[in-house]
Structure 1
Amino acid sequence: MVKKAENIIVGISIGDLNGIGPEVVLKTFEDNRMLELCTPVIFANIKIVSFLKKNLSLDASLHGIDDLSQIVVGKINVLNVWKEGVNIDYGKNDEVVGKYAIKSFQSATKALKEGLVDVLVTAPINKYNIQSEDFKFPGHTDYLGQELEGDALMLMIHDKLRVGLLTDHIPVNEVSNALTEELLFKKVETVIDALEKDFGVVKPKVALLGLNPHSGDNGVIGDEEEKIIKPAVKKMFDSGKMVFGPYSSDSFFGSTQYEKYDAILAMYHDQGLIPFKTLSFGKGVNYTAGLSKIRTSPDHGTAYEIAGKGEASYESFREAVYSAMDIFKKRNEFLELIKKPLKVR
């Protein structure tokens, strides 16, 4: 049975307390209509979240809890992940604050893994100040890939625009060595599976971008397209998958060619993120596809330069909440459908 929207428990990691994360979270649920759509649970500390709410002059009804069994529908639940106070200094890169961001994230991930929350929406972190002996991951995605079953893939979504990344948080000079036929097969399979299960797309069409300028110009500018990408695309297409490319990335988006496909797979981070963020106008969502559980996040960072000023737009975070709920329902509908045997007349 598909869960009713208002009963979907949305776990929220608070992100960097010195950034705009807490502001966009509270602004999202300041609108009581959101509480009719889902039940949020912020993993943090009620005193700190209350302080931030007051400091930002926001009107949000908070409900502190010490256990997830105490969740109240219609309230913004704040789970006390820690008891001690934390010094808030807006806009400052602080290792101590980074540790609390990870406490929140790991606690929320554990709850998601155990089924105590239905979906996870993560507020922005600072990838520099979260590093420690206990957390050596470049970001949310890699940790989730370790903790949850499946093959994590960063998929940026906005309306019908979906851009996945073959490689994400690695240096540009390592992309070519990371590019293999096996990796292409695996990531394309993850994209297709997500399109079918999480977005309800039948027989999805996926476009691959080339690695080099002009997609290699038939081997004149690099040979990765000729040696790896083109043969992989042919094998996948011959096996029945609607996979096309590689396309030259400099004209693919500007010519609106991307509109012909259900998803695009970029070879590296900025190749996919620059056109995506240009087209999504701050309303995009980062979805971690390929996992056993659902996680989304806004498509922006901590924005230290405007933290604490009340200027942050919450549109992307709100869209992340909407997307998490939509994907949760779509996936449940898909799982229900495949359980039912087809009727033979």
Structure 2
Amino acid sequence: MNQAEQKPVIGFTSGDLNGIGLEVTIKALNDSRITDLCIPVVFASNKSINFYKKLATEGNFSYQAIKDFERLSQKTVNVFSSWEEEVNIQPGQINNEGGAYAIKSLSDAVQALKDGNIDALVTAPIHKKNVQSESFPYTGHTPYLKAAFEANDVVMFMVADNIKVALVTEHIPVAEVAAHITKQGIVSKLKIMNQSLKKDFGITKPKIAVLGLNPHAGDEGLIGKEEAEIIQPAIKEAKQNDVFCFGPYSSDAFFARGQYEKFDAVLAMYHDQGLIPFKSLAIGEGVNYTAGLSGIRTSPDHGTAFDIAGKGKADESSTRAALFTAIDIFRSRLGYADARKNPMRKMSAAMLARAVDEKLTEE
């Protein structure tokens, strides 16, 4: 399924069964033009799809149920049966069933990605508390995918049309952030970002900004020494490894003065330092991308939204953006590997979507 002349097979997980995951996935895929761009596969069950399609769409959402990948349809949505038993779906409720079946879907989808049965994966939101178990001791998708793909390191990379922000630390308490900021860790993230920007986003010579940890980037050591002792040496080492990076910058002034516009990506030290400005400044819908994996995984930048689950109010825009980003990265990787032989491989999903729109308008 990875040949350039074929449409990519894109998998979708269900997310928490009581959240908005299946609802926004159905909404995003309820457009016949989607199958002009890719072959969608949702990892769930017929009954769970039927439950949410009544809530999610006014039209006729059609799909084909499959149990193996030999029967993939290129003309409609495919639903891979990750389970067949009856599940009591309770939109808006946080319970063990919602989390357990989210992991069933995720496990099947990740295995399919590792086996090459799908070319990319779009994951729907899970709830960090109700997925915890002995078999899933992870704080979220990113550490799970790192373990599943046996990656040395990965980067949580938030991407939008006008801004890309990556994180050194992810879902850890603020009180523990400083202890997790190391020279080795920063250099590793910068190398992954640099390679991803080239391979996944088609940027020939990426320019990366690095933020400081402390207010005013430590103010020359007056309010913190991490910048001088850890971050600056990391930037120096990364440069010696052909990473075009600069900093550390004081994060408040950096974003307030629009300095992020001069860079292809920004490396933040901790979650809120990066995600608050990203979600405030991003033009278009933001997408969470896991850089550093051999496989392609994207996700909408929102959570389970239990407060509106099952009410038909959930907006599918970020899920659609995650789909288009996955297709773009798939094509960019093909172009990175062999751009000279077929320049059309670099055509983005957005360009393809516009081409389909123009064709429909002409008709």
Q: TM over 0.5: same fold?
A: yes
The residue identity in structure 2 corresponding to 1:112 is: L
1:302 Cα offset (Å): 0.5
1:321 Cα offset (Å): 0.2
1:103 Cα offset (Å): 0.4
Q: Give per-residue Cα distances to partners, 1:216-243, cap 9 Å, x unaligned.
A: 1011111100111112222333554311
Spell out the pairing of 1:6-17 with structure 2 (5 A cutoff): 7-17=7-17
Instruction: Describe the shift of the 1:282–1:305 C-alpha distance in structure 2 as closer, same or farther (beyond 3 A).
Output: farther
Which residue is equivalent to 1:343? Answer: none
**Distance in 2 between residues matched to 1:251 and 1:337, nearest whole Å:** 39
**Distance in 2 between residues matched to 1:324 and 1:89, nearest whole Å:** 30
Q: Give per-residue Cα distances to partners, 1:218-277, cap 9 Å, x unaligned.
A: 111111001111122223335543110000011211211001111100000111011101
Which residue is equivalent to 1:25? Answer: 25
1:32 Cα offset (Å): 1.1
Which residue is equivalent to 1:112? Answer: 113
Question: Residues 138 and 169 of structure 1 are in contact (CA less than 8 Å); yes or no, is this contact kept in structure 2?
Answer: yes
1:65 Cα offset (Å): 1.1
Instruction: Describe the shift of the 1:251–1:4 C-alpha distance in structure 2 as closer, same or farther (beyond 3 A).
Output: farther
Q: Which runs of 5+ in 2 are unaligned?
A: 343-363
Question: TM-score, structure 2 length as denominator?
Answer: 0.90
Determine helix, strand or coil for the equivalent of 1:102: helix
1:329 Cα offset (Å): 0.7
Question: TM-score, structure 1 length as denominator?
Answer: 0.94
Question: Residues 207 and 265 of structure 1 are in contact (CA less than 8 Å); yes or no, is this contact kept in structure 2?
Answer: yes
The residue identity in structure 1 corresponding to 2:318 is: S
1:66 Cα offset (Å): 1.4
The residue identity in structure 2 corresponding to 1:215 is: A
Number of aligned residues: 339
**Distance in 2 between residues matched to 1:274 and 1:158, nearest whole Å:** 14
1:282 Cα offset (Å): 6.7
1:85 Cα offset (Å): 1.1
Determine helix, strand or coil for the equivalent of 2:177: helix
**Distance in 1 between residues matched to 2:97 and 2:66, nearest whole Å:** 23
**Distance in 1 between residues matched to 2:172 and 2:340, nearest whole Å:** 37
**Distance in 1 between residues matched to 2:165 and 2:44, nearest whole Å:** 31
**Distance in 2 between residues matched to 1:222 and 1:286, nearest whole Å:** 30
Question: Residues 122 and 323 of structure 2 are in contact (CA less than 8 Å); yes or no, is this contact kept in structure 1?
Answer: yes
1:57 Cα offset (Å): 4.0
**Distance in 1 between residues matched to 2:137 and 2:242, nearest whole Å:** 39
The residue identity in structure 1 corresponding to 2:29 is: F
The residue identity in structure 2 corresponding to 1:48 is: S
Which residue is equivalent to 2:37? Answer: 37
Instruction: Describe the shift of the 1:282–1:129 C-alpha distance in structure 2 as closer, same or farther (beyond 3 A).
Output: farther
1:139 aligned to 2:172?
no
**Distance in 1 between residues matched to 2:283 and 2:199, nearest whole Å:** 27
The residue identity in structure 1 corresponding to 2:104 is: K
Which residue is equivalent to 2:354? Answer: none
Instruction: Describe the shift of the 1:338–1:176 C-alpha distance in structure 2 as closer, same or farther (beyond 3 A).
Output: farther
Larger mean CA deviation between 43-52 and 104-113 belongs to 43-52
Which residue is equivalent to 1:83? Answer: 84
Determine helix, strand or coil for the equivalent of 2:117: coil
**Distance in 2 between residues matched to 1:198 and 1:184, nearest whole Å:** 20
- Which 4+ residue blocks in structure 1 deviate beyond 4 angstroms? 337-340
Which residue is equivalent to 1:227? Answer: 229
The residue identity in structure 1 corresponding to 2:313 is: E
The CA RMSD measured in Å over matched residues stands at 1.7
What is the percentage of aligned positions where both structures have the same residue? 50
Question: Residues 191 and 289 of structure 1 are in contact (CA less than 8 Å); yes or no, is this contact kept in structure 2?
Answer: yes
Question: Residues 210 and 246 of structure 1 are in contact (CA less than 8 Å); yes or no, is this contact kept in structure 2?
Answer: yes
**Distance in 1 between residues matched to 2:101 and 2:42, nearest whole Å:** 13
1:274 aligned to 2:283?
no
1:338 Cα offset (Å): 9.4
Spell out the pairing of 1:67-82 with structure 2 (5 A cutoff): 67-82=68-83
1:156 aligned to 2:158?
yes
The residue identity in structure 2 corresponding to 1:89 is: Q
**Distance in 2 between residues matched to 1:235 and 1:29, nearest whole Å:** 45
Spell out the pairing of 1:236-247 with structure 2 (5 A cutoff): 236-247=238-249
**Distance in 2 between residues matched to 1:205 and 1:180, nearest whole Å:** 21
Determine helix, strand or coil for the equivalent of 2:103: helix
**Distance in 1 between residues matched to 2:3 and 2:328, nearest whole Å:** 11
Instruction: Describe the shift of the 1:330–1:249 C-alpha distance in structure 2 as closer, same or farther (beyond 3 A).
Output: same
1:339 Cα offset (Å): 10
Instruction: Describe the shift of the 1:299–1:4 C-alpha distance in structure 2 as closer, same or farther (beyond 3 A).
Output: farther
Question: Residues 282 and 299 of structure 1 are in contact (CA less than 8 Å); yes or no, is this contact kept in structure 2?
Answer: no
